[in-house]
Amino acid sequence: PFTVPTVKRRRRKASLSDSEIMTILLYFHFGSFRNFKHYYLFFIRGTLKLYFPNAVSYNRFVELESRVFFPLMFFLNLRAFGRCNDRGEIIAFVLTGANVSDKDPAVFDVLAKRLYGKLFADKGYISQKLFDSLFEEGIQLVTGLRVNMKNKLMPFYDKMMLRKRYIIETINDLLKNTAQIVHSRHRSVSNFIINIISALGAYCFFDNKPKALTGYVIEDTKQLSLF
């Protein structure tokens, strides 16, 4: 009888570890790439082939992204709130719907979590109710004064820190123009969330974070380093 010859087939599937997937997603936000598919095919599987020898096809990588995906919320009409320290490090962020107020208690439940001392914010956060709520938690909310508000004495340190508004603007600029956190061509919720998480994660490795107090230096532990 005729028998079909057996053909040896490679059964082990090439795969990437979770750390490799996250590294690829983060590194995309460091360069001048605008197309992730082009970045993956020509940079990851080409230039960095030695660093990612088990790199899978692009279609397979898109499927593997779900392993490092943290579902947050829908991507239409969305706002982002963030909290940073005097070293320009993002230590908390919240994604909400576009109709959520700046002074929403649910937002500050996250932003003010495990926080004490002084919290500096712009004039949009002026609210006696919010001030009292945070003060009960050991947090002093410091904001500027509107034109129609009565002037009051303020410590020089608080007044100086309120003038450091450029820190927030610089962080926003780095996230938008360098980390490419603003992207309007997402085709799914997961891609949208992954892009935000990757951009925020990549920002943590940036060396040019803005600082409020240049004369006050904390020893750099080098805890975060990409390569």
Query: Which sequence spans correspond to the domains of the chain?
Result: 18-68, 104-164
- Coil, helix or strand at residue 58: helix
Contact 190, 74 (CB under 8 A): no
The one-letter code for the residue type at 176 is K
User: Count of CB atoms within 10 A of residue 108's CB?
Assistant: 24
Compute the mean pLDDT over every residue in the chain, rounded to the nearest whole number. 75
pLDDT of residue 191: 75
Distance CA 209, CA 114 (A): 23
Distance CA 222, CA 224 (A): 5
What angle, 0 to 180 degrees and rounded to 10, lies between the N-to-C axes of helices 189-203 and 18-27?
A: 80
**110-125 pLDDT, tens per residue?**
777 777 888 888 787 7
The yes-or-no verdict on residue 146 having pLDDT over 70 is yes
Cα angle: 162, vertex 166, 172; to 5 degrees: 125
**10-64 pLDDT, tens per residue?**
555 557 887 888 888 888 877 777 788 888 888 888 888 888 888 888 888 888 8
